[in-house]
Homo-oligomer: A and B are copies of this chain.
Amino acid sequence: MSDVPFPAIAAAIKTTLEAQGFTRLIGAEVVAVEPGVVVMALDRREEVLQQNGLFHGGAIAYLVDNTTTAAAATVLQRGERSVLTAEYKVNFLAPSRGDRLTCRAEIVKPGRMLTVVEAKVTCRTGGEDKLVAVGLATIAHVDRPKGS
């Protein structure tokens, strides 16, 4: 992608994420795509909560999954390669009782084979953003199949 201007790359990443069936089901939105950084958000509604009225841990993990993988995609060096999530860890820090989750993923270390990305998830509660989860992900760079 070395000859593609970054705004076009960012637009392609945003379009890809928002077109995922799972993203449309959950109703998450892409807030920002910058070199090395992707931010997504999810508003509170009954369908993304667990039994105690908190955002479901799975919804938080979904945001960590998508933003960390997409953050790695922002720094792909060549058009013929793609990224895949190898693994991630999520630590839940506080109950997410608020109105809106925001997950910001930022590359810690880009690599040719593996890129390591961290994520911070905040929940807006009474006008304030409270840190509710952190994630640490390993994203693999893979060759795209010929002709795809």
Contacts and interface: CB of A to CB of B under 8 A. Distances in A.
Q: How many copies does the complex hold?
A: 4
A95 B88 CA distance: 16
A113 interface: yes
Interface string A1-21: 000000000000000100111
A106 interface: no
Interface string A21-44: 110111000000000000000000
Given A22-B48, A22-B58, A89-B88, A109 B138 contact: no
Using C-beta atoms within 8 Å of the partner chain, give the interface range for chain A: 35 or more
Interface of A: 16, 19-22, 24-26, 45-51, 56-59, 61-66, 69, 84-94, 108-109, 111, 113-114, 116, 118, 131, 134, 136, 138, 140, 142
Given A25-B47, A113-B142, A116-B134, 17 more contacts: A20-B50, A20-B51, A56-B62, A57-B65, A57-B66, A57-B69, A58-B63, A62-B62, A85-B92, A86-B86, A86-B114, A86-B138, A87-B91, A91-B116, A91-B136, A93-B108, A93-B111
